[in-house]
Amino acid sequence: MENFQKAKKNIDLSIGESVRIVRELQGLSQNDLAKLTGIPQSTISAIENNRISLGVERSKVLARALRCHPAVLVFPGWDSNEVEAA
């Protein structure tokens, strides 16, 4: 394992982009996700385009429908190695 180098982050994602990517990986349209969550398609579009914030409750609802942890959506670029000790 000493010959391997840790991968470097190449791109920063916004919360909206992470929602869109996970949705698309699940093979869902915005309309499909709206039906699964009860969140209007227009709101999902606004989230994905970073026009409105995701919020805690919506992140939970979307994460359930997208079968992922809410942190995947809310903290797309978080790197635990960058956290400084308090």
b/e string for 44-78 if b means 16 or more Cβ within 10 A?
A: beebbeeeeebeeebbebbbebbeeebebbbebee
What percent of the chain stands above pLDDT 70? 81
Per residue in 46-74, pLDDT (tens digit) is 999 999 999 999 999 999 999 999 998 98
Helix runs in 1-85, H state only: 15-25, 30-37, 41-48, 56-66, 70-74
In the chain the domains, ranked by start, together with CATH numbers, are 15-77 (1.10.260.40)
Please measure the distance between the N-terminal and C-terminal CA atoms of the chain and give it in whole angstroms. Answer: 30
Rounded Cα–Cα distance for residues 19 and 14 (Å): 9
Q: Which pTM does this prediction carry?
A: 0.78
